Structures are given as C-alpha cells and as structure tokens.
A and B are shown apart, each in its own frame.
Chain A
Amino acid sequence: MTGVDDAPRPEPVRRVLFLPAELWPRILMPILIGALSLGAWEWAVRANEVPVYILPPPSVIWAALLRDWPSLSVSLGITLQITFAALIVAAAAGLALAVLFAQSKWVELSLFPYAVVLQVTPIVAIAPLIIIWVDDIRLALLICAWIVAFFPILSNTTLGLNSVDHNLVDLFRLYRATRFQTLIFLRLPAAMPYFLSGLRISGGLALIGAIVAEFVAGTGGRASGLAYRILEAGYQLQIPRMFAALFLICLTGIAIFLALGLVQHLALRRWHESAMRKEG
C-alpha cells in the first residue's frame, strides 16, 4: 500500500515554570480575586469596628487557625478519614452494582428504584437513626457519608455501561467474545469517563455527608470531626475558631475536587474528548 493521509500533528505546548502557559491565568486570577476580597473584608471589619463575635477579620481567623491547629488538625484528620473511606466504599459498591445492573436487566429494574429512594431521602432526617442504631460513631458517620456519595457513581456508571457504541457490541459478537470479555475489554473502559465524573461529584458529596452527620452526632453530644469543632466553638462564642474550622472544610472540599479532577485527566488524557486540550 502507498503513502498515508496527513496525520494531524499536535503542536508543542508553550510552558512557563513547568506549567502550560495558558494554565497560569486560570490559577492566578482566582487567587487575585481571593486576595482582593480578603483585603476588602479586613478593611471593612476594621473601619466599621465590627465586634469579633459578629464577624472576625481574616487576620484574626488566621491567628485562631494557627493557635488551635493541634485540636483542629485532629478533627480534620477524622473528617478526612470518614470522607475518604465513604468515597472508596461508594466507588466500589457503585461500580459493582452498576456492573450487576449491566449484566441483568431484571436486577436493574428491581433495584434501581431503591437506589433512588436512598438518594432522595434527606441525610439529615435519617442520620439520627443511623447514629442511634450503629454503636461505633465513626462507622455511623461513614454510613451517612456513603449514602450521599453512592448514587452519582451508581447512576453515572450504569449510564456509561449502557452507552457503548452498538457497532462495537456487534464487533465483539462477531468475534464470539464471551460476556466477561465484552465487560472487561469494552463496557468497563467505555464507562470509565462516566464513572470518573460520578466520582468527582461524589467526592464533594462525601465530604458534605460526613459534615452533616457530624453535626447531627455533635448535637447529640458525641464528639467527632470538624463539624463538631464548629458546633463547640459556636456554643463558646469562639467565632474566629468557628471560621477557622469552616475554612478548613472549604479547603478540603476544593482539594478533593482538584485531586479527583487530576485523576480524571490522567486516566482519560490519551483518548477522551473531555481530557483533550482544545485546539485552534
């Protein structure tokens, strides 16, 4: 056979300080806006002499964060443990159940509505029950966070497993592939982008689920992670400390979101449109 059509050739990426040049505005602009807002906050609080127990300035919050770091970091560790454990269990269970659904339409028909029930039930409403029923407080919190994080992974992965190009399914039939081969070599890889985007949604939800459950547990007097610190500081009118805990929760949420985004990018960059650099 003779020559070949022209292959599209990727252009070299211009880099500044190890990162693609076009990435810098996406990092620097939010930081700039954040710094300006914090400055305005600091100024407004000081100029109007707002009392610290109403709204503390950022500098005071920062000082509280440094002073209370020993106790806050322990709580942060607990919240992180619960969040990640819940996320891992949600990912494993969601994936396993989605595979089961893909193998049998009957199983999907019978069980999917209950997954929806689990999803639409407000976690605040069932958290007290779970905390009463389950003796181990961490396990109770984990179950609450899992309930919230589970559904996006299940529904996304189910969608992905069922969205395979039907010509590819025919191709596998033509070569007499077994059910298992079709699952491993076709359906699971095709569902990967859906699974990962479900995971990204669930990462944030697991954190929220853990925090909400901690609040419920904390109101019942059972000490645990960061949400308990917020409650405690609220009772003691330690408002800067409250903000410091809140700041840590936000930071954790952002870190989870970015980390799962990175996982998504690394796993899909070679082939999926969502992970491709925009051209032209």
Chain B
Amino acid sequence: MPEGGTLAGVPPPAPPGRPLVALQGVEKRYATGTLAVRGVNLDIPRGEFLSLLGPSGCGKSTLLRMIAGLIAPSSGTIDWPASPHDARGAAQPRLGFVFQEPTLLPWSSALSNAALPLKLEGMPRSEREDRAAGALARVGLAGFERTYPRALSGGMRMRVSIARALVTRPDILLMDEPFAALDEITRFRLNNDLLEIWQETGFTVVFVTHSVFESVYLSRRIAVMAARPGRIEREVGVPAPYPRGEAFRTSAEYAAVCRTVSLALGEAIAHRGAA
C-alpha cells in the first residue's frame, strides 16, 4: 500500500487531446464585495470524473454555476475549445445539470419531466418521448413514465432528474451535491448507478460534494477547496481503476485515499485566511 503522499502526487493520466473546458484565473466577486471564488485554474479533460470537495461556503457551487454559464465570472475565462460556438462567439456546450433538489415540474409526469430539455429544443413529441423513455429506463425507472413526482420516492425523483440531464446526451454533467439530501443506502445505490452510466456513456462529470467518502468513491480526480475566499487548495488523484464496486468501498486503498483527502481538506480549512 503506497503512502498517502505518493497517491496524491500522481493523478492517473488524463485522456489525451484538448480539454473539454479550461478555466483560467476565474474569480467571482459579488456586488456586496464578497470574493466568492478566487483565481481558479482548472483543465477538465473529456471523460473526466472530477469532484469539487470543500466545506460549505467555499464557493464550489458558485464555481459549478459559472461553468454552467448560470452566473458570469467577474474576471478570468472559461473556454470550451472543442464545443460549437454561436454567431457571437459564445460557447454552446451540451450541458446537463443536476441540482441538490430533484427540481422537477410537479404538474408533469416523469416522462414529460425527462423530455423537457428536448421540448425546449423544439423536438417533435413522439421523438422526444421515445428518447425520454430511454433515459428513464437507463436510470431504472422503466414503468414509471406516467407517474407524477408526488408519487415517487426521494431517490426516484433524483433518478428522474438525472434522466432529464442525460436526455440531451450532454458532453458534461454538472452535479451540485445531488445526493446530499438522500439517505445513505439510497445514496450508495445512486453512486453505483451513476458510475455505471458514466463508464458506459463516457461523458464528463463535475460533481460537487462535501463528503470525502463520496468524492473518493466516485472520482478520478478531486479538487479540494478552501473557503474565504473560495479557491482550489490542492488536487488529489484517485488511482483506483473502474469499475468500482462495494468491494472498493471496504478496501485499504479506498481508506488510504480517504485519509489523504481528509488531511488535504483539514489543511485547506486550517489555512483559511492565511493565504
């Protein structure tokens, strides 16, 4: 078993080619003067599974929303070198976003909810419903197409939310603490199912979490963040190969990476304000 330091120093080789998205000196200062995110440089290669890990208030959600284009950075650039751009030069990456809450339309069935992004694109009804049914089946919800969110459990609602994010076949899936509100058993199952879909499909994932264990279990790479101002303190690689299963959760390797990440997180919290 290698020492923690060795593990952290050697991220697994990134997939070759241009990064899917490149962040250069990205900062976010709110009108109140608060610096929410400071100086983030980050290359996210295609096919990556990256976690943004940090305490609450470290700007990890803000960073994710900037990548999604929901809020604009106050300085720095976010480039999508491999994505199509519109006439004004703005990147048009295919995004999927999963919020902490399922964020479903309560008046629409699971099928209509999953089909929503395609409906907004103007895809004809029969075609989008076929694709949405496929996405629902992919997340294990075949047979629940006509069910309304009210009649689904918390875990199932989150599955619908994931199906909706997947239905456009996105290049990148941005997830903002998606499983934080679920019980542990449901969370473990969704972790496994997410990994399985990711391996099959090969899209890129940026996963915001405050759980060391969740980030190590899922990711190839973890960006450990610190607060006030929010920044990336350190990057830690998780060299364990995929597929990862329940055996990985109990392995010594898993425990060792968790320790490394915990230490890095502890340092990040201790250094706050000093930098």
Residues of A within 8 A of B (CB): 1-8, 10, 165, 167-168, 170-177, 181, 185-186, 189, 192, 270-273, 276
Contact = CB atoms under 8 A, between A and B. Distances in A.
A7 B151 contact: yes
B151 A4 contact: no
Nearest to A165: B103
B70 A174 contact: yes
Interface stretch (B29-37, B140-148, B235-243, B252-260): B140-148
B263 interface: no
Given A2-B193, A271-B106, A10 B151 contact: yes
B151 A176 contact: no
Given A3-B140, A192-B107, A174 B193 contact: no
Enumerate the 3 nearest inter-chain pairs by beta-carbon distance, A residue then B residue, closest first: A1-B140, A5-B155, A271-B106
Contacts of B69: 174
Contacts of B168: 175
A8 B149 contact: no
Contacts of A6: 153
B149 to A, nearest CB: 7
Contacts of B159: 4
B152 A7 contact: yes
B156 A7 contact: yes
Contact of A4 (B99, B120, B156): B156
Nearest to A4: B140
Nearest to B153: A5
B120 A271 contact: no
Interface residues of B, number: 40
Contacts, number: 83
A140 B155 CA distance: 57
Contacts of B120: 172, 175-177, 181, 185
Contact of A173 (B70, B151, B196): B70
Contacts of A181: 120
B196 A1 contact: yes
Given A4-B159, A170-B70, A176-B120, A271 B193 contact: no
Contacts of B149: 271
Contact of B141 (A4, A185, A270, A273): A4
Contacts of B154: 5
Contacts of B193: 1-2
Contacts of A270: 107, 148, 150
A168 B105 contact: yes
A8 B119 contact: no
Interface string B88-101: 00000001010101
A176 B70 CA distance: 11
Contacts of A168: 103, 105
Interface string B190-201: 001100110000
12 contacts: A1-B140, A1-B196, A4-B156, A5-B153, A175-B117, A175-B121, A185-B105, A185-B120, A186-B105, A270-B107, A272-B107, A276-B150
B85 interface: no
Of B103, B138, B193, chain A has the most CB atoms within 10 Å of the CB of: B103
Nearest to A176: B120
A134 B121 CA distance: 50
A268 to B, nearest CB: 8
A194 to B, nearest CB: 13
A1 B147 contact: no
Nearest to A6: B153
B197 A8 contact: no
A271 B148 contact: yes
A246 B168 CA distance: 62
Contact of A174 (B95, B106, B144, B196): B95
Contacts of A165: 103
B211 interface: no
Contacts of B138: 1
A5 B186 contact: yes
B208 interface: no
A170 B103 CA distance: 10
A4 B196 CA distance: 15
Given A5-B186, A7-B147, 11 more contacts: A5-B153, A5-B189, A10-B151, A165-B103, A168-B103, A170-B70, A174-B68, A174-B95, A175-B121, A189-B105, A271-B106
Nearest to A192: B107
A174 B107 contact: no
Contacts of A10: 151
B139 interface: yes
